[in-house]
Amino acid sequence: MELSGEIKLEATPDEIWHVLNDPVALQRCIPGCTALEKRDTNTFLATIQTKIGPVNTQFSTVLTVIPVAPPTHYSLTGEGQSGISGFAKGTVNIELKANAAGTLLGYTSQVLIGGKVAQVGSRLLTAAAKKWVRQFFDSLEAVFNEN
Amino acid sequence: MKAAAFHYMQPKTVDEALGCLEQLGSDATILAGGQSLMASLNMRLSNPAVLIDINAIDELNGISTVEGRLRIGAMTRQAELEYSPLVSQHAPLITMVMPHIAHPAIRNRGTIGGSIAFADPAAELPACLVALNGQVVAQGPNGERRIAATEFFQDLFETALTDNELLTAIEIPMANENQRFGFRELARRHGDYAMVGLCASSDWSSDNLTELRLAYFNVGPRPVLAEQTASDICRIWPQVRNEMPLDQLESELDPPDDLNASSTMRVHLAKVLTRRIIEEWLS
Residue of B nearest to A85 (CA): B45
Q: CATH number, domain at B240?
A: 3.30.390.50
* Closest Cβ–Cβ partner in A121, A126, A128 for B257: A126
**Least Cα separation, residue B256 to chain A (angstroms):** 6
Q: Three-state secondary structure along B174-222?
A: CCCCCEEEEEEEECCCCCCCCCEEEEEEEEEECCEEEEEEEEEECCCCC
B221 touches chain A (CB under 8 A): yes
Residues in Cβ contact with B57 at an 8 Å cutoff, skipping those fewer than 6 apart: B11, B12, B13, B14, B17, B75
**pLDDT for residue A147:** 59
Query: Reduced to 3 states, what is the DSSP secondary structure of residue A43?
Result: strand
Average of pLDDT values for B79-107?
97
pLDDT at A129: 82
**B153-155 and B158-159: which strand pairing?**
antiparallel
Structural domain of residue B248, as residue ranges?
A: 179-282
State mean pLDDT over B152-181.
95
Task: Please check the confidence at residue A146 and state whether its pLDDT lies above 90.
Answer: no
Same structural domain, B266 and B216: yes
The reply to whether B161 and B70 lie within a common domain is yes
* Percent of chain B clearing pLDDT 70 (strictly above): 100
Q: Which residues of A touch B46 (CB under 8 A)?
A: 54-56
Instruction: Tell which of B32, B53, B74 closes a domain.
Output: B53
- Count residue pairs from A and B with Cβ separation < 8 A: 57
More confident position, B267 or B258: B267
Interchain CB contact of B56 with A (< 8 Å): no
Residues 80-109 of A with CB under 8 A from B: 84-85
Better-scored residue on pLDDT, B154 or A16: B154
Say which CATH number the domain at B29 has: 3.30.43.10
Q: What is the pLDDT of residue B200?
A: 98
**CA dihedral angle for residue B26, residue B31, residue B33, residue B38, rounded to 10 degrees:** 90
Number of domains in chain B: 3
Interface confidence (ipTM) of the complex: 0.73
Last residue of some domain: B157, B173, B189? B173
Q: Are residues B247 and B269 in the same domain?
A: yes
Phi-psi region of B143 (alpha: psi -120 to 50; beta: other; left: phi over 0): left
- B265 occurs within a structural domain: yes
Same domain, B135 and B47: no
Task: Say whether residue B258 is in contact with chain A using an 8 A CB cutoff.
Answer: yes
Question: Looking at residues A14-25, what average pLDDT do you find?
Answer: 85
Tell me whether residues B46 and A117 touch, CB distance under 8 A.
Answer: no
Contact across the interface for A123 and B260, Cβ inside 8 Å: yes
Residue B154 sits in the same domain as residue B231? no
Q: Are residues B166 and B188 in the same domain?
A: no
Cβ count near A83 (within 10 Å): 12
Is B209 among the domain residues?
yes
Whether A120 and B43 lie within 8 Å, measured CB to CB: yes
Over residues B243-255, mean pLDDT:
93
Is residue B155 in a domain?
yes
Q: Which residue of B has its CA nearest to A52?
A: B157
Indicate whether B2 belongs to any domain.
no
Q: Is residue B152 part of a domain?
A: yes
CB B43, CB A84: distance < 8 Å: no
* Cα–Cα nearest to B103, from B187, B201, B182: B187
Do residues B195 and B220 share a domain? yes
- Over residues A132-141, mean pLDDT: 87
Please provide residue A7's backbone torsions phi and psi, each rounded to the nearest 5 degrees.
-135, 155
Give yes or no: residues B183 and B168 share one domain.
no
What is chain A's mean pLDDT, rounded? 85
Q: Which chain B residues are Cβ-neighbours of A125 within 8 angstroms? A: 258
Cα B124 to chain centroid distance, Å, stands at 5
> For A69-126, what is each residue's pLDDT tens digit?
877 898 989 898 887 778 888 888 999 988 888 889 899 988 888 887 777 677 777 8
pLDDT tens sequence across B228-242: 999 999 999 988 888
H or E element that contains B8: strand B7-9
Is the backbone of residue B34 left (phi > 0), alpha (psi -120 to 50) or beta? left
Contact between chains at B259 and A56 (C-beta distance less than 8 A): no
Whether B243 is in a domain gets the answer: yes
Task: Tell me, yes or no, if B229 comes closer than 8 A to chain A by beta carbon.
Answer: no
Measured between CA atoms, the residue of chain B closest to residue A56 is B46
B30 pLDDT band, cuts 50/70/90, is very high
**Minimal C-alpha gap between A124 and chain B (Å):** 8
> Residue A67 — very low, low, confident or very high, per pLDDT cuts 50/70/90?
confident
Average pLDDT score over chain B = 94
Q: Say yes or no: B47 and B74 in one domain.
A: no
> What is the SS3 assignment for B20?
helix
Angle between the A125-146 and A13-20 helix axes, to the nearest 10 degrees? Answer: 120
Q: Is residue B119 part of a domain?
A: yes
Query: DSSP assignment, residue A49?
Result: E
pLDDT for the residue numbered B65: 97
User: Is A127 an 8 Å CB contact of chain B?
Assistant: yes
Q: Give yes or no for a contact between A133 and A90, defined as CB atoms under 8 angstroms apart.
A: no
- Which distant-in-sequence residues (6+ apart) come within 8 Å of B93 by Cβ? B128, B131, B132, B175, B181, B182, B183, B199, B201
Q: What is this structure's pTM?
A: 0.88
Q: How many residues does chain A have?
A: 147
Q: Is A138 left (phi over 0), alpha (psi -120 to 50) or beta?
A: alpha
* Residue A11 banded pLDDT, cuts 50, 70, 90: confident
User: Does B156 sit within 8 Å of A128, measured CB to CB?
Assistant: yes
Smallest Cα–Cα separation from B116: which of B144, B75, B173? B75
Model pLDDT, residue B12? 97
Phi, psi of B230 (to 5 degrees): -60, -45
Neighbours of B107 (CB within 10 A): 20
Q: Find out whether B148 and B173 touch, Cβ atoms under 8 Å.
A: no
> Which pLDDT value is given to residue B69?
97
Is residue B1 included in any domain, yes or no?
A: no
Q: What is the pLDDT of residue A53?
A: 74
B49 and B79 fall within a common domain? no
Kindly list the residues from chain A whose CB atom is less than 8 angstroms away from the CB atom of residue B155. Answer: 131
- The confidence score (pLDDT) of residue B95 equals 98
Asked if B221 and A53 come within 8 Å (Cβ–Cβ), the reply is no
Query: What pLDDT sits at residue A87?
Result: 86
pLDDT in tens, B43-84: 888 888 999 999 999 999 999 999 999 999 999 999 999 999
Residues of A in contact with B121 (CB under 8 A): 124, 127
Q: Pick the residue with more confidence: B100 or A126? A: B100
Alpha-carbon distance A34 to nearest alpha carbon in chain B (angstroms): 16
Whether chain B has a CB inside 8 Å of the CB on A24: the answer is no
Mean pLDDT of B205-223: 93
**C-alpha–C-alpha distance, residues B75 and B62, integer Å:** 8
The reply to whether B81 and B150 lie within a common domain is: yes
Instruction: Please give the share of chain B, as a percent, with pLDDT higher than 90.
Output: 85
Provide the residue type at A36 as one letter: L
Task: Delineate the domains of chain A, giving CATH numbers in brackets.
Answer: 2-142 (3.30.530.20)
d(CA B178, CA B171): 20
How sure is the predictor about B226, in pLDDT bands with cuts at 50, 70 and 90? very high
Where does a domain end: B155, B173, B191? Answer: B173
Amino acid at position B103, single letter = H
Decide if B46 touches A, using CB distance below 8 A.
Answer: yes
- Do B214 and B253 share a structural domain? yes
